[in-house]
Chain A
Amino acid sequence: SQKIEQNSEALNIQEGKTATLTCNYTNYSPAYLQWYRQDPGRGPVFLLLIRENEKEKRKERLKVTFDTTLKQSLFHITASQPADSATYLCALVLSGGYNKLIFGAGTRLAVHP
């Protein structure tokens, strides 16, 4: 069956450390993958997009990798801050011409001072 898996347990890290979140997928062939941030009771906010032919993307303190052989994306936040505490969602976009997003369940990140 098709699955998108993200760490179901919350990730707790100390301020200043690097947070690494994982997104694994099964039986999908995404054309690209997006990462969103969601705060409680609010809509997701787009962070980064990475295409299937790209290995790595960076934006400020954020870095995303995409390994289509392992069927995995890693999302890194360097020099993390308490303000980075939120739920992070990965979303696959499949080939087919439409921009439909298939979301993982998300990983809750808590950055402690």
Chain B
Amino acid sequence: DSGVTQTPKHLITATGQRVTLRCSPRSGDLSVYWYQQSLDQGLQFLIQYYNGEERAKGNILERFSAQQFPDLHSELNLSSLELGDSALYFCASSVEGIGLAGLRDNEQFFGPGTRLTVL
């Protein structure tokens, strides 16, 4: 158990709908990362938050958005869903995500994932 929790475990919805995925990081971790894993694309970085602020963006679609709340939990919102959005969505957390004098080479702790199926 990594200490990162994600809800729900499974989500089945229809095209055009909107869903929210929730993530609670490990106690004390300030950084939260979202990743998408599909069969043909592998594990793709979407977005990172550090202590409530967006820090880095990856291949995140405009239909997707995220936020990190004061209690450090994070939500990933997916709207106007398409069949191709079906995937496993992982949240990860780490102690720090910001490099100061240099990089913070911290391991990331991944949650169990949310499996999204769009029909």
- Give chain A's interface residues, CB within 8 Å of chain B: 31-32, 34, 36, 41-46, 49, 51, 89, 93, 95-106
* Contact indicator B103/A93 (Cβ below 8 Å): yes
Task: Report chain B residues within 8 Å CB of A42.
Answer: 112-113
Task: Report chain A residues within 8 Å CB of B110.
Answer: 36, 43-45
Interface magnitude class on chain B: 20 to 34
Q: Tell yes or no: B111 within 8 A of A by CB.
A: yes
* Contact indicator B96/A99 (Cβ below 8 Å): yes
* Given A43-B90, A44-B110, A98 contacting B98 (CB threshold 8 A): yes
* Given A97-B98, A100-B33, A45 contacting B2 (CB threshold 8 A): yes
Across the A-B interface, the 7 shortest Cβ-Cβ residue pairs = A43-B110, A97-B99, A46-B107, A103-B43, A105-B42, A99-B97, A98-B56
Task: Report chain B residues within 8 Å CB of A32.
Answer: 103, 105
* Contact indicator B92/A43 (Cβ below 8 Å): yes
Task: Report chain B residues within 8 Å CB of A41.
Answer: 88, 113, 115
